[in-house]
Amino acid sequence: MTCLTKQLKKGDKVAYKKLFDHFVTDIYNFAYSIIKQKEYAEEITQDVFLKLWLNRASLDHEKSIKSYLFTITRNQTLNLLQKIANEKRLAQELLTNISNLSGFEENTIDVAYYEDLKRQALEVLSPKRRLIFELSRNEGLTHEEIGEKMGISKNTVKNQMTSALNSIREYLLLHSDITFTLLLFISFL
């Protein structure tokens, strides 16, 4: 591996491909063992190898490339878990704060208005983007499963999901107050 690391450090794409092929399954399995979600493990694996390529010039060929990759994987996975925990905590705090407002009753938020706003936010999406979004959120399909079903790449699905969430967020920001927008947007996640 030392030879491959030296070659990678010089920008050798063949060495990068060999390292990728050698470690990709182990990196994915390690990420999956921590996070327990296929889609996240795949994303982390891609990020690990992207970091390897981007930081290739600073590699120390005398140190274990395997340890380096597993350290990046552990850090990426822990960062993602932290991000997910923070998002859940923020959502819980918002719900707690709203319920603590004086005079707040559960019926204050008009459920029909809430559902109508969600429907309108989805209607601004192109038909293809909306289908991808609904397959992900309503049917629980992974990016890979959606790609296979629609005959498009997993990366195209990922990009379409990102664009869909951005469009929905923008629509909600334009059509409701900030607290209500956050609650609606969280319901789309």
Condensed to tens digits (0 to 9), the pLDDT of residues 106-130 reads 444 556 666 777 788 888 888 898 8
Which structural domain range is residue 14 located in?
2-81
Number of domains in the chain: 2
CATH assignment at residue 29: 1.10.1740.10
Residue 27 lies in a domain: yes
Low-confidence ranges of the chain (pLDDT < 70): 1, 90-114, 175-189
Q: Are residues 183 and 121 in the same domain?
A: yes
pLDDT at 120: 82
DSSP letter (8 states) at residue 106: G
Residue 90 lies in a domain: no
Residue 140 lies in a domain: yes
d(CA 158, CA 172): 21
pLDDT at 171: 77
**Collapsed DSSP state (helix, strand, coil) of residue 102:** coil
Residue 76 lies in a domain: yes
Residue 14 lies in a domain: yes
pLDDT at 20: 93
CATH assignment at residue 116: 1.10.10.10
Last residue of a domain, one of 32, 66, 81: 81
- The Cα-based distances of 78 to 26, 32, 59, 69, 72 in angstroms read 17, 12, 22, 14, 10
pLDDT at 177: 56
How many other β-carbons are positioned within 10 Å of the β-carbon of residue 107? 7
pLDDT at 81: 84
pLDDT at 116: 76
Q: List % helix, strand, coil for the chain (3-state, nearest 5).
A: 80, 0, 20
Bin 90: left if φ > 0, else alpha if -120 < ψ < 50, else beta. Answer: alpha
